[in-house]
Structure 1
Amino acid sequence: MNLKFNTSLIVFMILSLIAFKGNSQMVGGDVFLQGCFIELGISECGVYGSSATPPDGPLGEYHGININGLGFIADHEKDGWDESTGAGEPNFCGDYFTPGSPEEGWAIEWDGDVWENHYLPCLGYGETGFGAADMDGSITSYVDAAGVQLAVWEGELDETGINLSITQTTSFPNGALFFLTSVELCNTGDTDLTDVYYTRNVDPDQDVDNCGSYQTENVIVYNYPSDDTALVTADGESCGCFLGIGAVDNRARVSYGNFFISPSTPSDAWTGTGGYSISGSTSCDCAVQITFKVDIPAGECTIINYAHVLDPSDLQDALEATLSGGVGLTANGVSISATGQYAVCEVGDTVILEANGDPAVTWTWSPDIYLSSTVGDSIVATPEETTTYTVTGVGGECGDITTSFTLIVDEDELSDAGPDQSICIGSSTTLSGFGGPAENIYLWSPDLGLSDPNISNPVASPITTTAYTLTTYDTLGCPAYSAVLITVDPLPIINAGADVAICVDGEIELEATGGVSYVWTPAIGLSNPNIANPNCTVDDETTYTVTGTDENGCINTDEITVSVNYLPEIIATANPYTIDVFLGETTQLDVVTGGIIFNWSPPNGLSDPNIQNPIAQPEDTTIYTVTVTDQYGCVNTDTVIVNVIGELKVLLPNAFSPNGDGVNDYYYPAVSGSGDLEYYAIYNRWGEMIFENTAPNTADGSNGWDGTWNGTEAEVGSYVVIARAKKSFDEAIQTINGTFVLIR
């Protein structure tokens, strides 16, 4: 059963708030049920037994109460609790909890932990022995209607790892010799629960109060997996009083053995280990059990039904009742004994009405409108308007039964899932549902992508276009439906382009595609960060993120990295290292660089202006500029000067005037062209050398002849000069002779 989408459960919850029939049989936290042939006490912890003194029941005083209290007893012969039926025959069969030990109870086991509720009084069983009941709860309602006795206990098990709400409904027809237990276990946690064990246990001392014996003959009559029914019986060995526990359910197994007041576990009872047997028979003072093994997914419920049978004559009816899970008056399988009404959500819907209980009763239904028949324990109603019916049972062993109920034709359903919406994939939107008067009950489906499918305004985050259906319920539990379409638009494919590289101080145009508007970040170095194609100039490597928005308002991003390549470092040279050359001579230019493309300009005098190292033979002194491009396209330049000079020439002045006026006061040869003056000497007319210079300074002649000889002024007249020079090109020695006149 699905906790979230069980319409019958919702209907029952809503209608059960409207009415239930009395609480006159509730004493303290306990409740008593009295039929014609069964009397039953239920404690505040959901155990079958009470030490309280019951009030007068619907049929009069309760029978045979002793000091220990009432468990469950039966007028098994249906003779009015009369003991004069023959020698040795008891006037009733049942258990008054003599001698008062906790002989009846139930337990739940999961993941190795066990929780137990036992009586008398309400006890649990922990590591140190008996203590307070392990599962809190209370009796929440009592019903005496339509020939049915019914009581509900509600509680919870809230421990680490396990969260269960537990609803135990106990019921029987007034004329029956069995009572039915229906237990709903709802997993209110977020974790799926697997291998949950539920066990009901009783020590069948039904002969003790009348015949004094605790011994019973315990027999496994049927058991899964070999049979389709689980049934264990216990016959008293003194009076012959009968007790059977069973169910038609492939999740159930029965056993006999331990009293279930020791550290034995429900899983032991299921497997027939630890002091339990799941086959065969035995004579003993021991307990009988029925155990269910179930899985309960998170947010869902499961229901288990089983019967306590107090006379073999009712075995068949009791086991069949475990299939339907209810007795009394039902509409489409939902008990209406407590509420007296059932909602028909659409005109023309059919309702199967059944009166379950005493098979000897003949049932009649009135009025006859909208009914398939007026006689029978099962008829079909197809009401077109709200109608109150009376059903009467005649011929039962407990007398005639009359009860009324109303089929309410409901036309007040309302569901509004809100307007259709569009979102971008990866984003979300809030739904706005409305459900009318009972708007606290919302069921959205599918629940995929919803924050909570049970509220009016869940946050929806679907990854594909999804139609959500909203089911709401009005105060009568009738559903209404509406739908909303959430269109999921894809994100745009934004492309910022491939990564690029620019040179220092370079510029490139970026270009984004895929959207209708764009924002680039960071904005540094961009001409405009809010257009598709800004110009980019940066000094350092930068990664740009472009955020693009399409026509649906959907946003996506892409990145591009702009790398910055520095200019190639270049040095232009000439070889040989001197850059002075004679006219007609050559020199090889070169570039120290990592470049790959070269261009020399002007091209005049070059062997090839487009190589790294051309041969230069200019006619005149020339400044060559080399432009170098590297592998990244970055460009840099450098220059080299080639100085073209002529042949070596030595000039001998023909006169000088050493008179101290600062003009032409020294005599020295002048040199032009490529070479150096190494030596010169001056002779008078008699051939005497009057001056010699082995390290002449040709720059300014400051160490030339000053016109003196032996400390006195030389005579005015003619003199002979002999000079020697060396060429730079081939280091050849050149000697020059000449005459000059000294003038004062």
Structure 2
Amino acid sequence: MTFQAKSQCLFTYDLGPDVYLCSGDSIQLITPVGHTYSWTPNYNISSNSASSPYVKPDVDTTYYVSVTDANNCSVLDSINVFVNPLPIVSVSEDDTICAGTATQLIASGALSYTWTPNYNLTNNTIPYPIASPLIDTNYIVNGLDANGCRNQDTIRIKVLPLPVADAGQDTSICPGSSVQLNASGGHIYQWLNPVSLSNFLIPDPISSPLDSSKYIVQVTDLNGCQSIDSVFINVYLPAKADAGFSVSSCADTPIQLNASGGINYSWSPSDYVNHQNVFNPMAFPDDDMNFIVQVEDSNGCFDVDTMRITVFKISINNDTLFCEGDSIMGFVDGDPATVFLWSPSNGISDTSSFEPWIKPSETTTYTLNATNAQGCSYQDDITITIPQPEAIIDTNFIIGCEGAILELNNNSNSDFLFNWNFDDGSSSNLNNLEKIIDYNSNLTAQLSVQDDNGCTDTSFLTYNGIGLGFDDYYQIDIPNVFTPNNDGNNDLFKVSLPGRMYECASLSIYNQWGQIQFYNDGNNLNWDGTNNSGIAAPQGTYFYTVSIKHESASGTFQLFR
């Protein structure tokens, strides 16, 4: 824009078109030289009297210049300087990454971008490059907007070292075995192939691989950085034990074993071999028996195998008990046999049968000898117990007033059940009892007992009193003198009767004048020498009368003091 103040000025000039600059930039305003100059406003201008000053306005500004020549002729011109704001260029926050990883840088606020340094960037001219620095790095982005204005921002990427992962030492194990892994170097652990691991989220899981395996552990430190390491678990080929072929043998015959497949051996059951830790011990089985060998190979791996020795043996019925007269069928169990021989032959229905009837009359031990087709023999015993309960009767015969009194006592084992039966139709379950047998009659008693096994016995007792009556048993014994002086000798006048005849007897004592001095009946047929008033009778001759049912006896005796 040109202003001519005086028409007589012989020169003109033009500052040119308005200009645009970016905030913070400067521009030189050009005028002809050889004149004097005055610039206004004096705002952000390098010199207000220079011909071509630099201006650096912060806002849109119109600058005026008055140019005066040597003739003091002045010309005025102006120029608009428009200030474009800088683009607001920004990037994401500073970041921290683990070595070997990447992060995306994100810039905004401009139309085009340039990143410096161009270090491990996927593209330094895009707003969103991927950065993977190996060391701490400051990335600067320069952004250019539509007005050609530039601005920049910086992001710092801090690179953390990786943890030193250690999965442990490679090792070898036997098939079916386990090993404990032991990783280190971090805070969090994860095994990336967790097959056959007890826990894939701990540093020291138990590994039980079926085949040789490589285990990879990912270790994470407190910063979240991760690294991996691996450990190889070699699984040996399995050991192969061979205990040999199974065999059949006679009883009490040793068998030599013969195992193979290893360098060390252990046989079980050890009590039945002569050397447990050799490959070929002698075995001494006492029945059908499995012999198991554990074999250790050169890798220290183990395997087992089994061989069976079948020993010819038979068995017969278990010992038993039954009552006399019963029987049992013999039963042979065990291995097949072709020849049988029972002994003793008493009570055996067929001594060459494998299932004879056995009926002993007393307790007997029977032996069966059996032989198989290979000529092996074996024998077994059975004891058959025949209980012998015995009914035992003990008696006592007593004469009574009305007949004979038979006292019966069961003297059998007190644990037996028992019962009395009589031929008069009566019975009893008392151990001790009395039976009154009328004179001139008979009685048969039967005592039956049974033990805990149900075996029984019976005893009989017969009393035969044919032709015997009261008079046949009547007998009296009366003294002819006694001395009641309390010296302990012959102080009582005693009347002795057989059995229980006193129960129906009476005694009368008279003096020589016929006066009764004493009378009693029943159990007490004894006189102590005092009368019925309790006064001692004088010495002298006395008379007695003893009455028993329809019988009586009289006589005299002397009393001395």
- With normalisation by structure 1, the TM-score equals 0.33
Higher relative contact order (CA 8 A, sep 6+): 1
Please tell me whether Structure 1 or Structure 2 has the larger radius of gyration of its CA atoms: 2
TM-score, structure 2 normalization:
0.42
